[in-house]
Structure 1
Amino acid sequence: MNMTMDTTLLLLFIAAFFLGSIPFAYLAGRLKGLDIRQHGSGNIGATNAFRVLGSAMGATVLLLDAGKGVVATLWAFSYAGETAAVIAGLAAIMGHTYSPFMRFKGGKGVATAAGVVITLVPEVALICIILFAIVVAISKYVSLGSIVVALALPILIFLFNKPLSYQIFALATALFVIYRHVPNIKRLLAGQENSIRRNYPKF
């Protein structure tokens, strides 16, 4: 890999990071005159947007957060190929979770990661979406659905015989998402996690 490609990948990473760092949930809250960090779980992500801002605004935030992953990945792929797409996807997820606009705090990366997976491996993304919906429908815990899908992602990528770069991305993303959900895991084990029944607006 020559210096030109190294520079290209670095610039793509930086651009994707800042794209991912756009705090759509925070901006949506401001449109309603509130700081979402002071409500619900305090998280700057789609799940808390649903909880605090309602179904319509929550769905909009979800699409926008996923869209960050889609745009970053597609752009990098078209510009520099498969490896660049994976790097940009990871950068967008990192930007979402450690937004410089929010003092390096942010969401948990699930929606943005979903956007990346949808772009790279749509067939795997479809299975993950179905699995997520089943787990949440049964358990009523969004966090549990996210954790289960994170665990399933690298396995599915391997079973579908995807490129090594995709497998590395899936494993890194899974570990990162689970790490971000450690507080949720502790609450789940203690029976104190927030469920859909108690905390979400009716659809």
Structure 2
Amino acid sequence: MLDVLYIALLSYICGSIPSGLILGLVLNKGDIRNSGSGNIGATNAVRVGGKFFGLLVFILDFLKAFIPTSIVAYYYKDSFYTSISALSIIGHIFPIWLKFKGGKGVATSFGYIAAINFYIFLLTLSIWVAIFLKTRISSIASLLSIISPVIISLFYEDMYIFTSCISIAALVYCKHISNIMRLTSGKEWRF
């Protein structure tokens, strides 16, 4: 039981590190919450500081889930414990340091997926890239690509991984409600 609590706490703390905010201040981009969408994630980082800045934020947000999940998967080799490390995504979305107002969870979700199965991650990323190149809309690429791990995990017959993937997708969709509303009205921001 203590192992579960340690994994949950450390994963959440890892995920709650506000990479976009810290990097923005370090690189003199300012507080990115005061510009663009006000989000601390990679998409807003691109709006505020350009593609390279956005890529750095994406990588750091990705690693916040990839590192703890990889460590847990290596030491425990059990999908139950591994699925608990998905709390890094909760940390990113609801960081304790920022009054629980964080990012939308896409990059951290990708990091978690890459740690549990790199092939599923490659497929998910490929879908994201293909949709983004076609539409130039990050939110629609995120919303459609995040469904693929749910569908694929059905075939693995692993309840814990499937549950974590469907929970992640639900969270990402909830965090994108404003984007969905803009998409339906044709007002979503394009790159």
Name the TM-score, length of structure 1 as normaliser: 0.89
> Are residues 1:43 and 2:39 paired?
yes
Q: Which of residues 122, 133, 150 is equivalent to 2:129?
A: 133
The 5 A counterparts of 1:119-198 are 119-159=115-155, 161-196=156-191
CA contact (8 A) 2:114 2:121 kept: yes
> Are residues 1:78 and 2:78 paired?
no
CA contact (8 A) 2:29 2:49 kept: no
> Are residues 1:59 and 2:55 paired?
yes
- 1:116-152 Cα offsets, whole Å, 9 max, x none, are 1011011111111111111111111100000001222
Q: Which residue type is aligned with residue 86 of structure 1?
A: S
- 1:16-67 Cα offsets, whole Å, 9 max, x none, are 1011000010011112151100001100111111111112221111111100
Corresponding residue of 2:10: 15
Q: Which residue type is aligned with residue 24 of structure 1?
A: S
Count of equivalent residues = 189
Q: Which residue type is aligned with residue 92 of structure 1?
A: S
| 2:132 aligned counterpart, secondary structure | helix
Corresponding residue of 2:19: 24
Distance 2:171 2:118 in 1: 21
1:91 positional shift: 0.7
CA RMSD of aligned residues (A): 1.2
CA contact (8 A) 1:72 1:85 kept: no
| 1:155 aligned counterpart, secondary structure | helix
CA contact (8 A) 1:114 1:125 kept: yes
> Are residues 1:108 and 2:109 paired?
no
> Are residues 1:92 and 2:84 paired?
no
| 1:125 aligned counterpart, secondary structure | helix
| 2:146 aligned counterpart, secondary structure | helix
Instruction: Return the index of the structure with the highest Cα Rg.
Output: 1
Name the TM-score, length of structure 2 as normaliser: 0.95
1:156 positional shift: 1.8
CA contact (8 A) 2:127 2:145 kept: yes
Of the structure 1 ranges 104-113 and 30-39, higher mean CA displacement relative to structure 2 is found in 30-39
- 1:101-122 Cα offsets, whole Å, 9 max, x none, are 1111100111001001011011
